Structure 1
């Protein structure tokens, strides 16, 4: 018979040890991040070197634990050495930072070159492990292009570089993999993802779901709208439409199917919601921070510029989902109370609002009014979140005189805080991996002069016509975005495409960046890859192509918005005024025309139905993209006329979103 000690040293004991190690290392990692944010005792480059080692340690331990749980010993045996190389490299470069970074730029010792080779191999493995063959092929292709550019014919050819030059550009000069994007991740993105981890741990997203259900209970398409709101909000923080479709879809899709909605439509709604969430302010899938860095403007300005486009997208998707739900004859009046163990009392609602509202108010104050840096604002927000997250529930127990002990509640919230630290590190790890790799790719692009070559190539292919150039840029963004987190896809097109739009076509920088940012998320629902749709269809056990069709109908305006930005510059501005709102309203009505045409359950014969849908969709595209206000107004008048005529002549006047209130 096995003794207790023998059982604890078996596989279960190892797993428990790894699980505890993940938590301890995550807490230590965040303590270092917050300490640096408060003191900034090291340079950003030196801090980034340590940051990479810390987050790779968390990633390695957590993934090893999961691999062992699944019985994949080979994966664990490969993963640990790969992460060990990156941890060792971070320690070496951190300890010898002044020598390596200040005294040996442009050359390195032989053992540093060997370490650099191991770093590249390890990062390639982690990239493949986390993001698959396609992105791995892109990174390897860029490296081969950098080395053998002299063999590339035409405008894309360059002088090439030696292996040692490649190692210097990516590793030993401490640019490349430790360059600007890695530094941005370490200083700006990481604290916000810690905030997100704490929100998860303290139950903020449960509160969001409750609020969504309350709001959705007042409209006819309640279940579907709840799914859209919860998935989009969480997706904004998650940073990956594919991962978000898996995470939130596991709840929203079965709920929609239970209400009577067909599987492919439920999957299509989830895929669209997860994809659209990537552009929702204030986080925008972490891309807002990168955009602010590239443009050299305040982060809050980027958020302000993104509010109106996001509103247009959200309104159009909400209407499309409404039409989809009512056309599916699903029971959207199902009882929601079954999803929660206990309803919140009035005092509990107030306490929860204060618990999460105070830290958010701290964030708004420091960013918007005090004009502190993103990093400092996020740091104070995290401090406020920990204070309210830990102290408010015990205080509420004292006020309510409940049976639960305030001390036990305090201990529970401290435990939740530790879980939040762990959750934040696990959320951050994949984003850090891909941004470290992309940072190296960007440095190789700059070294080889690729952006200038792409500019010349785009001018040649588009013939200097703006519309063709935008469509070409969107196509590149879709290809680059396949299987990648939003921020990574955006970074690549921001480096390759945006400079051409600005220098050759005279598009404002903020407009060019938002155009490519919106285009970068399209890969999630664009067949034949459509990774968000693949995941959602799998959960729904639905046909992939029917899921893509449903998603494309719901998100059709998303494919038009990048073009609309270019031809309506007032849409994207850091100083919105009445003209911005006027143009935004017209573009929104154009988006609604597309949605109405493609999704409304018309009572027409097949021929007339197809003609009506096509005409309204084309009309909506013209309203959204045509630059002249008079033409937009004329198109809107036609759409309103069709809308009213259908209501009066076919169905009788009734508001599409209200449902009869029973007395």
Structure 2
């Protein structure tokens, strides 16, 4: 066997040949996406998205073939039917592209055109059903509303749409399957999933965790604090809460348990830290790029605006972890478990070059996200080759492109169905009417509209990747927030914030479930604890709505003052939540501090003074009772 063949076996092992073929397809898919990013889409955007969809669906529906997983014959038949259906419908589009794209509507389509459109629609629905039953139901409801909503009375009624017109818009225009959702996946999400795969193979995550353990390991609750910081740094590159938990949690959670932190609390800490990383610039889980596409606000403006709230989030979580560690009298890591910072940095400093390069390309050069991602992926592989300790084998390089493409396929299986929902909102005029219904229910009250938005975010975000949950919220809820006076930037950041937090909010809490499985803890206790730990960070989103200075909007002195009061508010709320703030707090003191922290949400000077006074008064009473400050 050739040397290349032996290297490839490091990646594929002894898996059946079918998976080898899929790995080749995945790598070719990744190479094509790199080509399309650098040189532009093949022929037209529609053709490019059709190729992207086809490769994704082939990888998605055949991912279990040739593996050890047991597949029923009925599911295997459906898998191949979906693959054949995708290939037939896309091939038909390619062969008749000029005629279809120049047609003036559904009346110019043939019966074969409509049948192929129907087949592709059914395949998309099947993919959505497998990924999320809730999203599948939402998509079906959207289709039914498009077709039969014309007979509905009152504000929900619309002019109606024939089946032929629906199929035309769905399968051959940017109003349906080849619309915003698939374009987001191809333009933003794919390349950063590829980047996540490269960071995993180059051991960048392990380097970051070792550095954090070296700095925080010996301190009170050291492993937990290290988990917070390492998850923040790594997660902003991984771009997925679940991916971050799976990557960092396998290292941080066992260390937290060894330090005496209960399993469900270790899972909760990793969950909230991994979630927050999606709000931290520069990548923000691809959210900033999607937001820029939806709102027209420049990416740099969005990333800069998110910086202070993101840092406040981790201040809040760090405070919760510290107060909890002091209250439980937890120690740090043993001397043997703490890496030598100088040695770790000397061995792996070069791994920081790709993240720094990415930040420079995005913020300094204003480069497109996909193009910057391509350069960073290539740079991460080249940089890793510079040192023997991080050098990649051919099999590992193959795995970068293989894993990236397969991860993207799962996201595409869900996000492509957004085309049905987008069409239901746009073509029927339902979007503006939904805003009217929300405003009628809240009577135009800002605080009630914000609270209803949080509830909606939790419901729509159940079991869905953050980018998809955010897109739905941007379509459904953002217009209502803007109607009650919230700026476009603040409204979309608010919704994105709570789309992220839906991953740890019961009853679904998919991120907490993954963390709990690693910690071997109860997923319910883990999700509830993660929700409680997140409460101090919840007020941050309300803060930047009421205080635009936290989004870098305003004069620098006002921004600095807002940061100080917001920091006091979040830390105070964390202390009230944990019942410890230098001294053990009584229930009345905790309530007073909580009210004071909530008052600090607003930038209004009167409420700020009241909030600071309440916090100071409660702490003064605690000091009189206990004397000098407890050791922290």
Q: Is the 2:596–2:610 contact (alpha carbons within 8 Å) kept by the matching residues of 1?
A: no
Q: Is the 1:106–1:173 contact (alpha carbons within 8 Å) kept by the matching residues of 2?
A: no
Q: Is the 1:299–1:374 contact (alpha carbons within 8 Å) kept by the matching residues of 2?
A: no
How far off is 1:14 after superposition? 9.3
Within 5 A, what are the aligned runs for 1:170-185? 170-185=170-185
Spell out structure 1 runs of 4+ moving beyond 6 A: 602-605
TM-score by length of 2: 0.89
- Name the SS for the 2:160 alignment partner: coil
**Distance (whole Å) between structure 1 residues aligned to residue 183 and residue 298 of structure 2:** 17
Question: What's the counterpart of residue 415 of structure 1?
Answer: 395
Within 5 A, what are the aligned runs for 1:104-183? 105-107=105-107, 108-131=109-132, 133-183=133-183
**Distance (whole Å) between structure 2 residues aligned to residue 571 and residue 604 of structure 1:** 30
Task: Tell me: CA distance 1:98–1:63, structure 2 relative to 1, closer, same or farther (3 Å).
Answer: farther
Task: Tell me: CA distance 1:330–1:351, structure 2 relative to 1, closer, same or farther (3 Å).
Answer: closer
Question: What's the counterpart of residue 188 of structure 2?
Answer: 188
How far off is 1:628 after superposition? 0.5
How far off is 1:96 after superposition? 3.5
Task: Tell me: CA distance 1:33–1:259, structure 2 relative to 1, closer, same or farther (3 Å).
Answer: same
Post-superposition Cα deviations, 1:240-298, rounded to whole Å, max 9, x if no partner, equal: 54565455444433332232222332232233223323222222222111001112233
**Distance (whole Å) between structure 2 residues aligned to residue 602 and residue 511 of structure 1:** 31
Task: Tell me: CA distance 1:232–1:364, structure 2 relative to 1, closer, same or farther (3 Å).
Answer: closer
Q: Is the 1:202–1:420 contact (alpha carbons within 8 Å) kept by the matching residues of 2?
A: no
**Distance (whole Å) between structure 1 residues aligned to residue 53 and residue 438 of structure 2:** 36
Question: What's the counterpart of residue 211 of structure 1?
Answer: 211
Give yes or no for the alignment of 1:357 onto 2:337: no
- Name the SS for the 1:282 alignment partner: coil
Q: Is the 1:179–1:440 contact (alpha carbons within 8 Å) kept by the matching residues of 2?
A: no
Task: Tell me: CA distance 1:426–1:225, structure 2 relative to 1, closer, same or farther (3 Å).
Answer: farther
Give yes or no for the alignment of 1:639 onto 2:619: no
- Name the SS for the 1:78 alignment partner: helix
Question: What's the counterpart of residue 477 of structure 2?
Answer: 497
Question: What's the counterpart of residue 453 of structure 2?
Answer: 473
Post-superposition Cα deviations, 1:633-661, rounded to whole Å, max 9, x if no partner, equal: 442244245446646752633563xxxxx
Question: What's the counterpart of residue 3 of structure 1?
Answer: none
Question: What's the counterpart of residue 566 of structure 2?
Answer: 587
Give yes or no for the alignment of 1:563 onto 2:559: no
**Distance (whole Å) between structure 2 residues aligned to residue 158 and residue 562 of structure 1:** 35
**Distance (whole Å) between structure 2 residues aligned to residue 484 and residue 268 of structure 1:** 19
Within 5 A, what are the aligned runs for 1:324-403? 324-334=324-334, 337=337, 346=343, 349-350=345-346, 352-354=348-350, 356-390=351-385, 392-393=386-387
- Name the SS for the 1:582 alignment partner: helix
How far off is 1:351 after superposition? 5.7
How far off is 1:53 after superposition? 1.2
Task: Tell me: CA distance 1:130–1:336, structure 2 relative to 1, closer, same or farther (3 Å).
Answer: farther
Give yes or no for the alignment of 1:437 onto 2:431: no
Give yes or no for the alignment of 1:454 onto 2:434: yes
Task: Tell me: CA distance 1:13–1:317, structure 2 relative to 1, closer, same or farther (3 Å).
Answer: closer
Give yes or no for the alignment of 1:514 onto 2:493: yes
**Distance (whole Å) between structure 2 residues aligned to residue 112 and residue 515 of structure 1:** 42
Count residues with an aligned counterpart.
619
**Distance (whole Å) between structure 2 residues aligned to residue 479 and residue 491 of structure 1:** 14
Q: Is the 2:235–2:241 contact (alpha carbons within 8 Å) kept by the matching residues of 1?
A: yes
2:508 to 515, 529, 545: 529
Question: What's the counterpart of residue 48 of structure 1?
Answer: 49
Within 5 A, what are the aligned runs for 1:228-307? 228-242=228-242, 244-245=244-245, 248-307=248-307
Post-superposition Cα deviations, 1:442-480, rounded to whole Å, max 9, x if no partner, equal: 132111112111111112111111111111122111111
Task: Tell me: CA distance 1:333–1:244, structure 2 relative to 1, closer, same or farther (3 Å).
Answer: closer
Task: Tell me: CA distance 1:152–1:589, structure 2 relative to 1, closer, same or farther (3 Å).
Answer: farther
Post-superposition Cα deviations, 1:17-73, rounded to whole Å, max 9, x if no partner, equal: 13322321121111111111121153333211211112223333434345x434555
**Distance (whole Å) between structure 2 residues aligned to residue 119 and residue 103 of structure 1:** 19
Q: Is the 1:201–1:423 contact (alpha carbons within 8 Å) kept by the matching residues of 2?
A: no
**Is 451-460 or 153-162 further displaced after alignment?**
153-162
**Distance (whole Å) between structure 1 residues aligned to residue 341 and residue 18 of structure 2:** 37
How far off is 1:489 after superposition? 0.7
Post-superposition Cα deviations, 1:613-638, rounded to whole Å, max 9, x if no partner, equal: 222222211212x3303421442244
Q: Is the 1:239–1:278 contact (alpha carbons within 8 Å) kept by the matching residues of 2?
A: yes
Within 5 A, what are the aligned runs for 1:4-83? 15-40=15-40, 42-66=43-67, 68-70=68-70, 72=72, 74-83=74-83
Post-superposition Cα deviations, 1:517-552, rounded to whole Å, max 9, x if no partner, equal: 112223223233333334444544444554344223
**Distance (whole Å) between structure 1 residues aligned to residue 375 and residue 248 of structure 2:** 29
Give yes or no for the alignment of 1:653 onto 2:629: yes
How far off is 1:421 after superposition? 1.0
Task: Tell me: CA distance 1:643–1:31, structure 2 relative to 1, closer, same or farther (3 Å).
Answer: same
**Distance (whole Å) between structure 2 residues aligned to residue 536 and residue 186 of structure 1:** 29
**Is 633-642 or 555-564 further displaced after alignment?**
633-642
Q: Is the 1:242–1:483 contact (alpha carbons within 8 Å) kept by the matching residues of 2?
A: no
| Runs of 5+ unmatched residues, structure 2 | 1-11
Question: What's the counterpart of residue 4 of structure 1?
Answer: none
**Distance (whole Å) between structure 2 residues aligned to residue 29 and residue 226 of structure 1:** 37
Give yes or no for the alignment of 1:597 onto 2:586: no
Post-superposition Cα deviations, 1:582-627, rounded to whole Å, max 9, x if no partner, equal: 212212211111100011447999xx73222222222211212x33
**Distance (whole Å) between structure 2 residues aligned to residue 61 and residue 596 of structure 1:** 50
Task: Tell me: CA distance 1:213–1:571, structure 2 relative to 1, closer, same or farther (3 Å).
Answer: same
Q: Is the 2:264–2:529 contact (alpha carbons within 8 Å) kept by the matching residues of 1?
A: yes
Q: Is the 2:195–2:237 contact (alpha carbons within 8 Å) kept by the matching residues of 1?
A: no
**Distance (whole Å) between structure 1 residues aligned to residue 454 and residue 509 of structure 2:** 15
Q: Is the 2:599–2:608 contact (alpha carbons within 8 Å) kept by the matching residues of 1?
A: yes
How far off is 1:562 after superposition? 2.9
Task: Tell me: CA distance 1:564–1:420, structure 2 relative to 1, closer, same or farther (3 Å).
Answer: same
Task: Tell me: CA distance 1:248–1:120, structure 2 relative to 1, closer, same or farther (3 Å).
Answer: farther
Query: Over aligned residues, Cα RMSD in angstroms?
Result: 2.9
**Distance (whole Å) between structure 2 residues aligned to residue 70 and residue 265 of structure 1:** 35
- Name the SS for the 2:159 alignment partner: coil
| Runs of 5+ unmatched residues, structure 1 | 1-11, 397-408, 657-663
**Distance (whole Å) between structure 1 residues aligned to residue 394 and residue 518 of structure 2:** 34
